[in-house]
């Protein structure tokens, strides 16, 4: 078991991990770059080590300094958080060779799942439905055009090494294929140092549904419900919620079982997410796996009551899962809004600034995960996530109203500060979001309208939300046939 | 670790693991008293925690050592004595001296191998490019070299101690043309 954990990350997730460690009685070693020297996690840690200058490659991506910091401070484990080194198999391997427990899957599994083409092949082998497309990288324009013609337009070209919503291009007609192919390969080479791309059918009105899983090193795995993350801007998630209310309890349970089966088939351990696209008929197709804790994990924590970071740390230490599938019953509805320091009216340009005022919302079932305190600077070197506002309520209507109330309480002020708060309030008021009939393109398609609504919300008294139904209280939707041993295919 | 004040600050933590809680408190108290007596300068600040057993001591620089030097406490603890230094993450370096800082996290060594003579000692004149010490990281020995000619006025870190990024290792009084 881990007794002293080094957190190789910063910001809200570093604080989140430090808190889990405190509750577990695990000592905390923080590492920080020069610009984070007075950050919240440094104050929470038992020991903190300065590992480099602000640029990530000199600090949070600098493997030797991080590993050396762990060895010098007597840490026996490393938690990579998300981003930075969290999905770097080499880093996981180095940790292992230095005798440090890496909180995450084994390096070879991480390697396999990090390559989207390999992951698709392995998940197809495990019986997960895939969108029509190819598993192997596509090397030439001609080959690609031929495949695209066969699977049918629109298609999406994706970098095999891609992630974080980058390196993807949608092609609607054969005439545009060549340009898109060349550009995507160039982007992939520049961003991921690997030009290989693959092709699959593009679903125009799909929902993004992802299943949270947790596996131990003894072959046990459970799913902890799903999250709908369809509100994205250019593949960057902005608002996440659970459960996916547009699916029936039965469809959701089937998806969960598929996700666990896929993860266990490759020997996955720890917390992870299987991402699916769901079409209008409710058929789900495997997209990719995230082999780490995700930004939006609190949604699942509020729905299930399971502390995912705690479980992740315990499982990494070799403990068997203590929770059985039948013990996990997602209750009510949860929503997370990413409060980013960026200006939606200027193409979501990052707006690093000093936070002269940071008034965090509070109240019943309202949680704000952040690594910032009033007076802190938001550094231009890192992502623009200020914090995650998460609420829980017995049903989706109440969760929307609670979130809106919390967003209205929140104040972030300072020279040059812009946030996504008003945009979130506009989103929650939009009839399509309210009725849960939006899709993954909704935000990009409706951005001008949403920005106008956001401005109105920011300036005057916000227009009322639709009246709630005041219906009966149903905390748990009981899936039919949960106990059946064999998962039927969700699609095909 | 606090980068700036190894010379005037000592931190002890995690001692006497094997003892019962009451004995630990007694042991801790004795350690504090002993430490305070052994200080080279006047006691300036003392903090003791018993939960996970930490002692932090700061003391004044010994007279004559470098009496012009400002108090060497970390930036967070420095009293607000107006603008005597530019604001920023610059730990105190006495005027006229240059700091040699750790370029990476690792273990500081004053000599090429244990038991051999140190690379440099206080008072030594050094040339550009001369090795002053080494910092070991990931089993690699990284030489710490002088950027310019100077005289070693202080070695701030003890042999085999851990250092973090940007921590001051040595101070040099530059000789030759001012930079």
Domain boundaries, chain B: 9-59, 98-174
3-state SS, residue B35:
helix
pLDDT of residue A469: 65
| Interface check B17 vs A, CB under 8 A | no
Q: How far is CA A26 from CA A4, A46, A486, in A?
A: 5, 10, 39
B172 bridge partner residues: B98, B152
- Across all residues in chain B, what is the average pLDDT? 71
Nearest-Cα residue of chain B relative to residue A67 = B138
How far is residue A309's CA from residue A18's CA, in Å, rounded to a whole number? 10
ipTM of the complex: 0.79
Same domain, A11 and A75: yes
At A4 the pLDDT is: 98
Q: Is B104 on the interface with A (CB under 8 A)?
A: yes
User: Quick one: A191 and A238 in the same domain?
Assistant: no
- For A31-51, what is each residue's pLDDT tens digit? 999 999 999 999 999 999 999
Token pair of A352 as six digits? 């690093």
pLDDT of residue B65: 39
For residue A123, tell me if it sits in a domain.
Answer: no
Residue A110 domain flag: no
For residue A125, tell me if it sits in a domain.
no
Is the model's pLDDT at A326 over the cut of 90?
Answer: yes
- Identify whether residues A336 and A425 lie together within a single domain: yes
Q: Is 2.40.50.100 the CATH number for B98-174?
A: yes
Residue B106 to residue A51, Cβ atoms within 8 A: no
Q: Are residues A308 and A161 in the same domain?
A: no
Judgement on whether residues A232 and A197 belong to the same structural domain of the protein: no
Q: Is the pLDDT confidence value at B78 over 50?
A: no
Whether A271 and A213 have beta carbons less than 8 Å apart is answered as: yes
Q: Do A188 and A242 lie in a common domain?
A: no
Does residue A61 belong to any structural domain of this protein? Answer: yes
User: Looking at residue B28, what is its pLDDT?
Assistant: 63
A303 and A450, same domain (yes or no): yes
Q: Please say if A292 is a catalytic residue.
A: yes
* Contact criterion met (CB < 8 Å) for A64 and B89: no
Taking the CA of residue B151 and the nearest CA in chain A, the distance in Å comes to 27
Q: Which of A230-244, A260-274, B42-56 has the weakest average pLDDT?
A: B42-56
Minimum Cα–Cα distance from B106: chain A residue: A68
Min Cα distance B176 → chain A (Å) is: 30
State whether residue A28 sits within 8 Å of chain B by CB.
no
Which residues of chain B make contact with A97, given a CB cutoff of 8 A?
none
Can you give the residue range of the structural domain that contains A294?
Answer: 207-459
Q: Give the number of beta-carbon pairs within 8 Å between A and B.
A: 50
pLDDT at B89 over 90: no
Q: What is the CATH number of the domain that holds A375?
A: 3.30.470.20
| Mean of pLDDT values over A119-147 | 92
Cα B99 from Cα B92, distance rounded (Å) = 9
Same domain for A352 and A226: yes
User: Are the beta carbons of A34 and B166 separated by less than 8 Å?
Assistant: yes
Residue A404: exposed, middle, or buried by beta-carbon count in 10 A (0-12, 13-18, 19+)?
Answer: buried
Query: Under an 8 A CB cutoff, do B165 and A72 touch?
Result: no
Q: Are both A312 and A449 inside the same structural domain?
A: yes
In contact, A454 and A344? CB cutoff 8 Å? yes
Number of domains in chain A: 3
Across the interface, of A38, A47, A50, the residue whose CB is closest to B3 is A50
pTM of the model: 0.81
Is B165 an interface residue toward A (CB < 8 Å)?
A: yes
* In a domain? residue A221: yes
Please check whether residue A64 touches B, CB under 8 A.
yes
Does one domain contain both A53 and A97? yes
Pair (A190, A220) in one structural domain:
no
Q: Is residue A364 part of a domain?
A: yes
User: How many Å apart are CA A92 and CA A80, to the nearest integer?
Assistant: 9
């Amino acid at each position: 078991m881990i007794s002293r954990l080094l957190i190789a990350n910063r910001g809200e997730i570093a604080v989140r991990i430090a808190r889990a460690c405190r509750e577990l009685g695990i000592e905390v070693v923080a590492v920080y770059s020069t610009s984070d020297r007075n950050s919240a996690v440094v104050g929470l840690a038992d020991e903190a080590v300065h590992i480099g200058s602000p640029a990530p490659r000199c600090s949070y991506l600098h493997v030797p300094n991080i590993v050396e910091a762990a060895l010098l401070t007597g840490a026996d484990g490393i938690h990579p958080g998300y981003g930075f080194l969290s999905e770097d198999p080499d880093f996981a391997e180095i940790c292992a060779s230095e005798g440090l427990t890496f909180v995450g899957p084994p390096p070879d599994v991480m390697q396999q799942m990090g390559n989207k083409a390999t992951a698709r092949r392995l998940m197809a082998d495990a019986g997960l439905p895939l969108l029509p497309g190819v598993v192997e990288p596509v090397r030439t324009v001609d080959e690609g055009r031929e495949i695209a013609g066969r699977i049918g337009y629109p298609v999406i070209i994706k970098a095999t090494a891609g992630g974080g919503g980058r390196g993807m291009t949608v092609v609607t007609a054969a005439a545009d294929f060549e340009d898109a192919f060349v550009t995507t390969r160039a982007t992939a080479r520049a961003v991921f140092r690997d030009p290989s791309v693959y092709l699959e059918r593009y679903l125009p009105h799909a929902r993004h549904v992802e299943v949270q899983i947790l596996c131990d090193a003894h072959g046990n795995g459970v799913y902890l419900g799903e999250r709908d993350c369809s509100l994205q801007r250019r593949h960057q998630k902005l608002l996440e919620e659970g459960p996916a209310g547009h699916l029936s309890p039965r469809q959701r349970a089937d998806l969960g079982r598929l996700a666990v089966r896929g993860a266990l088939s490759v020997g996955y351990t720890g917390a992870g997410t299987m991402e699916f696209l769901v079409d209008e008929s409710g058929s789900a197709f495997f997209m990719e796996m995230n082999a780490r804790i995700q930004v939006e994990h609190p949604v699942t924590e509020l729905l299930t009551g399971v502390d995912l970071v705690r479980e992740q740390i315990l499982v990494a230490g070799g403990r068997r899962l203590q929770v059985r599938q039948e013990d996990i019953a997602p209750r009510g509805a949860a929503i997370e809004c990413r409060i980013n320091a960026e200006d939606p009216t200027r193409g979501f340009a990052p707006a690093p600034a000093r936070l002269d005022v940071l008034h965090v919302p509070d109240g019943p079932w309202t949680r704000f995960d952040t690594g910032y305190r009033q007076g802190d600077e938001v550094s231009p070197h890192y992502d623009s996530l200020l914090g995650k506002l998460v609420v829980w309520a017995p049903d989706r209507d109440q969760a929307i109203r609670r979130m809106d109330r919390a967003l209205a309480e929140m104040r972030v002020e300072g020279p040059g500060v812009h946030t996504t708060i008003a945009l979130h309030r506009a989103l929650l008021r939009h009839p399509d979001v309210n009725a849960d009939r939006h899709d993954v393109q909704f935000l990009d398609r409706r951005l001008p309208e949403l920005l106008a609504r956001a401005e109105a919300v920011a300036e005057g008294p916000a227009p009322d939300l639709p009246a709630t139904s005041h219906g009966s209280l149903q905390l748990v939707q009981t899936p039919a046939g949960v106990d059946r041993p064999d998962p039927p295919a969700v699609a095909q | 670790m606090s980068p700036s004040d190894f010379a005037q600050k000592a931190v002890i933590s995690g001692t006497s693991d094997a003892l019962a809680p009451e004995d630990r408190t007694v042991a801790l108290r004795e350690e504090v008293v002993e430490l305070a007596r052994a200080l080279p300068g006047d006691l300036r600040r003392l903090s003791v925690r018993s939960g996970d057993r930490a002692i932090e001591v700061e003391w004044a620089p010994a007279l004559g050592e470098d009496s012009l030097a400002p108090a060497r406490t970390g930036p967070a603890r420095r009293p607000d004595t107006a603008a005597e230094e530019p604001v920023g993450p610059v730990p105190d370096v006495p005027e006229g001296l240059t700091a040699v800082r750790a370029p990476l996290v690792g273990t500081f060594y004053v000599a090429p191998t244990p038991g051999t003579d140190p690379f440099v000692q206080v008072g030594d004149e050094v040339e550009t490019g001369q090795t002053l010490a080494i910092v070991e990281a990931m089993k690699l020995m990284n030489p710490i070299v002088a950027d310019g000619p100077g005289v070693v006025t202080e070695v701030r870190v003890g042999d085999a101690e851990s250092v973090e990024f940007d921590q001051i290792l040595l101070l040099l009084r530059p000789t030759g043309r001012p930079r």
